[in-house]
Amino acid sequence: MGSGEHCVTWVSKFERAKKKANEIFQLDHFPEYISYFILVYDFEDIKSGEEKYQAEFVLTQSAYDSSRERSAISDYYYEPCAVWMNNSEGQKLMFLKFPRHKGWKITTAFRRRSFTVNIYIKFNSFREINVLLKQLTDIYANQSNCDIQFLFQDGQKIGGHISILAARSPVFATMINNQPTKTDPVLINDTQLDIFKELLHFIYSGRTRVPLTETSVWSLFTAAEKYNVARLKEECTRFLLIQIRASNAIDWLVLADFHSIQSVKEAAVKILTANFKTIFPTHEWEEFAKSYPDLCLPITLTTFEQINS
């Protein structure tokens, strides 16, 4: 790709029962507050009985806040300067920009229900920021010139850089300042080594080394909470809201209540209420009701109110 250009390949098909769909994706090697996008498409038949459809694609950038990291980057670099796709004939179809909504839109025709779309997103000279992020990540990955060591109970160590860690985490800053001797390793006895490595990788690069999973996300959220890495907490919360479903809603409600993640609590309650008839007879619900009656009661009352209304 050319300088500042990024290609996203999207494979989908038009479902008659669901004429509108959306997908969230992330561009590689970008800070998370720049990289998340939402793609929404809507379609209609051009002629009844024929395999020809008119589709509208809307691309919007995920919402961001005015954080310390964000404020250092101008909108000139933060927002795409052009978005386009290529049709089956290889023609370049440009999206129209809607500055008011920070989005891009295009309406075009397709001859098949199943399709593959290459969407190109271009930024203004973002190369310098990408290079800086890669250099910082390489310094950590290669353990170059580390001036602090973290020691784990099994004797393993991982290095870091005081100035970077202190700037990105007030907890690390306090921990480092309270060390009797700056050359002594810092003992880590409450976080697993692999989770701690992911935490450090995020501090240096703005993204995790490997994709989040349902197995790792809560441990990583706990580490981000302990070391006050707000961006990583947001990243984990975003993942939880996307991945929550009826099969994990009970466990995640308990964990979200413990960690005071209100948005995940609300999402879990909504899913449990909507699926109450199938969840209520299960052993898992019985154990949940016994152990967490304060969390169970509002769901039960809301469900019965809906049934009786």
Cβ proximity of 57 and 39 under 8 Å: yes
Model confidence over 206-239: pLDDT tens digits? 888 888 999 999 999 999 999 999 989 998 998 9
**Fold match flag (5-125 vs 244-308):** no
Residue carrying the six token digits 């909507």: 274
Superfamily of domain 130-239: Potassium Channel Kv1.1; Chain A (3.30.710.10)
User: What are the structural domain ranges in the chain?
Assistant: 5-125, 130-239, 244-308
Q: How far apart are CA 13 and CA 21, in angstroms?
A: 10
- Rounded CA gap, 132 and 119, in Å? 26
What tokens were used for 216? Answer: 């790792």
The domain 244-308 having CATH identifier 1.25.40.420: the answer here is yes
- Phi/psi for 281 (5° steps) reads -75, -5
CATH number given to 5-125: 2.60.210
Length of the chain: 309
- pLDDT per residue as tens, the chain (309 positions): 555 677 888 777 766 655 677 788 877 766 655 677 888 888 877 666 666 778 888 998 876 444 444 444 455 567 788 899 887 667 789 999 886 667 899 988 877 777 778 888 887 755 666 777 788 889 999 999 999 999 998 899 999 999 999 988 999 998 888 877 767 888 898 899 999 999 999 999 888 888 899 999 999 999 999 999 998 999 899 899 989 999 999 999 999 999 999 999 999 999 999 998 899 899 999 999 999 999 998 898 888 777 766
Report the distance separating Cα 261 and Cα 288, nearest Å: 19
Largest CA distance in the chain: 78
Q: How far apart are CA 119 and CA 133, in angstroms?
A: 24
Which amino acid is residue 166, in one-letter code?
A
- Nearest CA to 272 among 245, 290, 240? 245
d(CA 64, CA 32): 9
User: Residue 273 corresponds to which tokens in the numbers above?
Assistant: 């209420």
What's the pTM value of the predicted model, to 2 decimals? 0.63
Helices vs strands, H then E, count in the chain: 14, 12
